[in-house]
Amino acid sequence: MKELVSSELFERYDRLLLQLSLDTMNDIMYCPRKACASPVVVDKDSAMGSCAACGYVFCIYCQMGYHGVAMCKMKSGLFT
């Protein structure tokens, strides 16, 4: 396919294919920082995501800074 289309079109296809693949994975989220938005492998046991690109460590439920041992208000239903 790469040889049949322009390099720009192939790069777009490749980027969209990667994004589609990542979107189907249960352990992948995107960094909540708008300036970053890199894919992040999350640990659902600890409810934590850690972005390798920008270093932001966040709660996977509310996407705010990681709470540590404190229960997330979004997960506990306090925000509903």
Instruction: Quick: pLDDT tens for 14-68.
Output: 889 988 888 888 889 999 999 999 999 987 788 889 999 999 999 998 999 998 8
Return the pLDDT at 78: 43
Question: Any alpha helices (H) in 2-80, and if so which ranges?
Answer: 7-23, 73-76
Residue 74 has pLDDT above 80, yes or no: no
Closest CA to 25 of 6, 40, 11: 40
Domains of the chain: 7-76 (2.20.25.20)
Question: Does residue 75 carry a pLDDT above 80?
Answer: no
Greater pLDDT, 80 or 8: 8
Alpha-carbon gap, residue 26 to 32, rounded angstroms:
16
Distance of CA 62 to the CA centre of its chain: 13
Whole-angstrom distance, CA of residue 46 vs CA of residue 61? 11
